[in-house]
Structure 1
Amino acid sequence: MDPPPAAIRWRTTAVPFLVAVLVLTTISPSRAIYCDEDDCYDLLGVSQSANASEIKKAYYKLSLKHHPDKNPDPESRKLFVKIANAYEILKDEATREQYDYAIAHPEEVFYNTARYYKAYYGHKTDTRAVLVGLLLILSGFQYLNQSSRYKQAVAMVKKTPAYKNKLRALELERSGGITNKKRIPKNMDKKMEEDLSKELDLQITGTERPSVWKLVGVRFVLLPYTLGKLLLWSGCWFWRYRVKKYPYSWEDASYLTQRSLGIPHDRWATIDEATKEDLVLRRLWEKSNMERYVTEMRKESKRRR
C-alpha cells in the first residue's frame, strides 16, 4: 500500500532539512571553512593551548609519517594535505587567533567567514609597493598618450601651407637667398627640420611636447616640494603686498592680469608684448577696472558686427 501524498511531501522536505540541521549542529560553519569537518588541533594531535614550538614539532612528526614521498598510500596522501592545511592555519598567529575565535563564537558565521577570506584571499602586498606600481603605470600611459598626441599634431601641422612656406623661407635663409623654386625635397637636411620643429612648438595649441616633469608620478613625488614652494610664495606675497604695501612688480602684475582674464599660461605667452603691456597697465585685477574693460570689449564687439 502506497503512503499518502502528505507523508510523501513530508518525507521529501523534512528529511533533508533535518539532515542539514544535524550537520550544522555537529559541525560549526565557522570552523568548517578552516579544516572542513575536522578540528585543526586534532589533525596535528595537539591541544588548543599548545605553543608554536609544539605545533611545529607535531607537524614535522606527522609529515615524516604521511608525506607522499614516505608513504605512497592514497589515504595517507589525503591525510597529509589536511595536516599541511591545519599547520598553515595554526603556525600563523593571526589565522590561529581567527580560528580560536571561530571555535569560541560559532554563531558569528558571517563575521568569521569574512575574516577567513580576507586573510587568505585579500592582497598581502605592501601598500606602498602597490602605490608606486600604480603611479608608474599611470605615468607610462600618460607619457605615451602625450607623445602620441604631439606626434599627430606635428604631422598635421607639417601638411599645412604655412609649414611649407616657413620651410622654404628657412631654406632661403640658409642658402643665402638662393633656393630651388621646385617642391621641397623629401631628403632635406635633418638639422633644418629640427630647427623648424622648435619654432613649431609654440604654434601647436592644445598639444605640448611630452615632459617627464608633468607626469602624475613625478608630480606626486615632488608634491612636498611643490607645496612648500607654494607656501613660501604665498607668505612672501602676503608680506610684500599686504603688509609692506609695495607696488606690484611687472611679473606679479602680469600674473594678476592673466588670472583676472582667465587666460591659460600657454595662451598668455603667445600674446604680443604691446598687448600685454596695455593689459597690465589697465590694472584689471581691480574690480572697477575689470568692469570698465569688459564694457569696452562688448562695445567693440558690437561695433565690428
Structure 2
Amino acid sequence: MDLPPAPIRWRATAIPFFVAVLFVSTISPSRAIYCDEDDCYDLLGVSQSANASEIKKAYYKLSLKYHPDKNPDPESRKLFVKVANAYEILKDEATREQYDYAIAHPEEVFYNTARYYRAYYGHKTDPRAVLVGLLLILSGFQYLNQSTRYNQAVAMVKKTPAYKNKLRALELERSGGVTNKKKSQKNMDKKTEEDLSKELDLQITGAEMASVWKLLGVRFVLLPYTLGKLLLWTACWFWRYKVKKYPYSWEDASYLTQRSLSIPLDRWRNIDEATKEDLVLRRLWEKSNLESYVAEMRKESKRRR
C-alpha cells in the first residue's frame, strides 16, 4: 500500500491535534466543573472585580426575570438554574477564590478539580465540634466504667467477713454496747446497714469513686491551667532547692520518697504515718540510701521465707 507524501500525512495528523488544543484552551476542564461551558461572571452580568453586593443585586435581578414562577418558558428555567449555580459559587469567598484561581491557572486541571470536589463534597462539620463530641463520648464511657468498677468492688468488699465485723463493731459503738436480741447476727436491718456503711470509709485499691475532675474532657479543658501550674511548681522547686539550696520541706520530702519507691499516690496515702515518717527520714531519694533500703528489704523477705 502506497503512503501519501510526508507533508500530507503531517497535515492529516496535526489538524485534529490543533483542534483539540484549541478546544481545551477555549474551555478549560477545571473551569467547566464550575459553570459548565459558561463563565460564572458572564452569567450574572458582572465583572470579575465585582464586590459581593453587586453580585447579590445581579442575581436577584436575574432571578426575577428567569424564575419559573415568573417566566414559564422552558429555556428560561434552564437559564435560571445556571444563574443560581453561578451565584452559589461567587457568593462564597472560598469557592469564588477557587474559581478565580482556576481562571488564572487553567493548566492545573487536576489541582483545580480536586479543590472543587473537596469544597462541595467534603465533610462540612467543624473539626472543633467533632473534637468536643468525641471528648464528651469518651468522658461518658470513662465515667460509666469508673462507676461500674467502684460499685462492683464495693459489693465484693461488703461480702467479706472483715467488713461485716467492722459493721457490727460500729453498730455496737452507736448503741453503747447494747444489741437487740430479736435481731440475729446474720439479719441486720437493711436500713441500719446502709446508714452504718455510709460511715465506713472504704479504701479500695485499684477502684476509686468516679470523679468528674478525672474525666478526659475536663482534663483537656483544664490542660492550660495544669501546664501553667506545673511550670510554676517546677520553677519554684528549682529556685528553692537547686539555687538557694534550702532543706526539703516535709511535703516535698514525702513526694521524693514516694517517687523513689515508685509507690502510687493512693497507696502512699494509705500507709500509716509512722511508716511514712520512717521512710522519709531515710532520705531514700539519695541513691546510696535507696540501695541500702532495697537490700535490707530483700534480706528481711528471705528471713520470712
Q: TM-score range by the shorter chain?
A: 0.7 to 0.9
Q: How far off its partner does 1:254 sit?
A: 1.3
Post-superposition Cα deviations, 1:100-158, rounded to whole Å, max 9, x if no partner, equal 22122222122112322333345566655554444444333332332222222222322
- Mapped partners of 2:129, 2:32: distance in 1: 34
Cα pair distance change 1:162/1:35, threshold 3 Å? farther
Q: 122-131 or 80-89: which moved more? A: 122-131
Q: Which of 179, 183, 186 pairs up with 2:186?
A: 183
Cα pair distance change 1:246/1:113, threshold 3 Å? same
SS class of match (1:205)? coil
Q: CA RMSD in A?
A: 2.9
* Counterpart for residue 120 of structure 1: 120
Post-superposition Cα deviations, 1:253-292, rounded to whole Å, max 9, x if no partner, equal 1111111000011011111222222211211111111111
Post-superposition Cα deviations, 1:149-198, rounded to whole Å, max 9, x if no partner, equal 222222232233333332222223222221533423463234323223xx
User: Could you state the TM-score of these two structures normalised by the residue count of structure 1?
Assistant: 0.80
Q: Residues 34 and 89 of structure 1 are in contact (CA less than 8 Å); yes or no, is this contact kept in structure 2? A: yes
- Mapped partners of 2:132, 2:109: distance in 1: 37
Where does the alignment leave 5 or more consecutive residues of structure 2 unmatched?
1-16
1:89 aligns with 2:89: yes
Q: 123-132 or 85-94: which moved more? A: 123-132
Q: 124-133 or 57-66: which moved more? A: 124-133
Give the % identical residues: 84
Q: 130-139 or 31-40: which moved more? A: 130-139
SS class of match (1:210)? coil
Q: 151-160 or 248-257: which moved more? A: 151-160
* Counterpart for residue 239 of structure 1: 239
Q: 252-261 or 274-283: which moved more? A: 274-283
- Mapped partners of 1:268, 1:184: distance in 2: 37
Q: How far off its partner does 1:34 sit?
A: 1.4
Post-superposition Cα deviations, 1:228-251, rounded to whole Å, max 9, x if no partner, equal 332332333233323333322222
1:68 aligns with 2:103: no
* Counterpart for residue 227 of structure 2: 227
Cα pair distance change 1:191/1:72, threshold 3 Å? farther
* Counterpart for residue 146 of structure 1: 146
Q: Residues 67 and 80 of structure 1 are in contact (CA less than 8 Å); yes or no, is this contact kept in structure 2? A: yes
SS class of match (1:107)? coil
* Counterpart for residue 56 of structure 2: 56
Post-superposition Cα deviations, 1:52-106, rounded to whole Å, max 9, x if no partner, equal 4443232112211222332345554343222211101112233222112212222
Q: 185-194 or 106-115: which moved more? A: 185-194
